[in-house]
């Protein structure tokens, strides 16, 4: 894994439509990982935004900083449901990451050749010129952000397969 491109894969026993919904539907994407809803306009040029939760805002206040209402934003570059989503992505929670350029995030859902009914979800995050964002999404110890993409995808898989997230 480099600082400029990070690739994560997880195999999920579910339909591609269910995996797609877990990524793009706020009813689903607010139930795993950092549990903040993400809203997509699923067409080229459409907007993406991820909203702060009340818990995030309280955490920030206790730490002496303000968490904005929108914690991640971007633009949809390509949407091919339920197989491929490409978007720009910028973390706004932290002034350092907010000052960095937009990065590019690609989700690809493909049938796993090894087992019928299992699909491979690959997330590729291109992070050129965004070292603070790269550290944060990698879930490195010094980022203070938790588990990054590895945590998010593990929790997504658990939720889609079991109906419960990792902390339930």
**Sheet with 103-111: strands ordered across:** 5-13, 118-126, 103-111, 84-91, 70-80, 47-51, 38-40
Burial 100-133 (b: 16+ CB within 10 A, else e): beebbbbbebeeeeeeeeebbbebbbbbeebebb
pLDDT band per the 50, 70, 90 thresholds, residue 65: confident
Say whether the peptide bond before residue 155 is cis (omega within 30 degrees of 0): no
State the pTM of this model.
Answer: 0.92
CATH classification for the domain delimited by 5-162, as one of 3.30.530.20, 2.40.50.100, 3.40.640.10, 2.30.30.140: 3.30.530.20
Which tens digit of pLDDT belongs to each residue from 74-111? 999 999 999 999 999 999 988 899 999 999 999 999 99
**What share of the chain in percent tops pLDDT 90?**
80
């Amino acid at each position: 894994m480099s600082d400029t491109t990070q690739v994560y894969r997880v195999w999920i026993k579910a339909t591609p439509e269910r995996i797609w919904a877990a990524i793009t539907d706020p009813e689903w994407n607010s139930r795993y990982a950092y549990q903040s809803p993400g809203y997509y306009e699923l067409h080229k040029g459409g907007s993406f935004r991820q909203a702060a939760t009340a818990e995030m805002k309280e955490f920030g206040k206790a730490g002496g900083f303000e968490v904005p209402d929108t914690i991640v934003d971007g633009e949809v570059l390509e949407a091919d449901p339920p197989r491929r989503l490409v978007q720009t992505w910028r973390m706004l929670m932290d002034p350092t990451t907010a000052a960095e350029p937009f990065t590019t995030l690609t989700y690809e859902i493909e049938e796993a050749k090894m087992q019928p009914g299992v699909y491979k979800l690959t997330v590729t995050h291109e992070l050129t010129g965004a070292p603070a964002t790269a550290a944060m999404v990698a879930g490195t110890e010094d980022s203070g952000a938790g588990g990054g993409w590895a945590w998010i995808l593990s929790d997504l898989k658990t939720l889609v397969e079991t109906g419960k997230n990792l902390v339930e």
